[in-house]
Amino acid sequence: MESGKEDSGLKRELYSVIEPYSSGFLKVSDLHTIYWEQSGNPDGHPVVFLHGGPGGGTSPTNRRFFDPEFYRIILFDQRGAGKSTPHACLKENTTWDLIDDIEKLREHLKIPEWQVFGGSWGSTLALAYSQSHPDKVTGLVLRGIFLLRKKEIDWFYEGGAAAIYPDAWEPFRDLIPENERECFINAYNKRLNCDDLETQYAAARAWTKWEMMTAHLIPNDDNIKKGDDDYFSLAFARIENHYFSNKGFFPSDSYLLDNIDKIRHIDATIVQGRYDVVCPMMSAWDVHKVWPEADFKVVKDAGHSANEPGITAELVAANERLKNKIKAGR
């Protein structure tokens, strides 16, 4: 199960820096417009990248997990995130709205079906989208599985992970008065949605830094600095909190696990850092148990981030495996 024991001939490093060959904005509702871009091979096999958060947005590095000669690489910023507008907006912003947006983007780009790649919240959305549209997905690569169950939210936001990162936890905790600490999700929700912008920014910075300080096995200063960017932090914190407050808008705590049968036929790889504190391995393990057909790669020396060397290597290799299977089937 631990990674690195097979497929040693596959490429395991990020591809070279590339620029988009096209980009644009797609109006997906009367309120929301999403940013999208395409890079790689215009005639290649389509793959869509689903970013984390929700609210995290995409970055140029995200293009580099895929062979640009083989793949037509589609990135987009989910509602309220990145370059999408309106910024940090919570209205008409649910999992089901995002699933509809993915379909609208696929149709806008005239793509019959595509590979889906997502980590953290992106894995949540990838599972939900695939279960809603299983006939449109040619393959799945999932990282840092997050099922948005109560025990996962409680672990990270109500004090569980503080046992490992007490130094990072205390600034997050201390922003909230003691009499409101029975539920940090609710306490932050109040501040992230109040009328005072400075109160919103202070809460957003604390929320974002907590996650960024715990995302790598070895702390990454560049990642942590994202918490100082008020524009990024506000979208990241507000949208995450909105989704977590609403239990991901799923009808039940076990919704994604209960619907694995709908996607069991899809060729999939799950990549999980052994020491992931943000999305602990218990969730990937639960998916593995109900979906043993999916390749399950545990990276023994990694935490949560896709940019850790072992995680990156397995994600690139997973795309290479799917690429080779598609080539062999032509």
| Contact criterion met (CB below 8 Å) for 3 and 314 | yes
d(CA 116, CA 144): 15
Active site (annotated) includes residue 45:
no
The DSSP code sequence of 183-210 is -HHHHHHHHHTSS-HHHHHHHHHHHHHH
Q: Which of 51, 276, 283, 305 is catalytic?
A: 276
DSSP E strand boundaries for 19-109: 22-27, 33-40, 45-50, 71-76
Rg of the chain over Cα atoms, rounded to whole angstroms, equals 19
Task: Give the pairing of strands 22-27 and 33-40.
Answer: antiparallel
Active site (annotated) includes residue 39:
no
Q: Which of 45, 216, 242, 304 is catalytic?
A: 304
- What the block records as the tokens of 182 is 């029975």
Phi-psi category of residue 44: left, alpha or beta, with phi > 0 → left and psi -120 to 50 → alpha: beta
Element containing residue 325 per DSSP (H, E)? helix 309-329
Active site (annotated) includes residue 265:
no
Task: Give the pairing of strands 268-273 and 137-143.
Answer: parallel
Residues involved in catalysis: 120, 276, 304
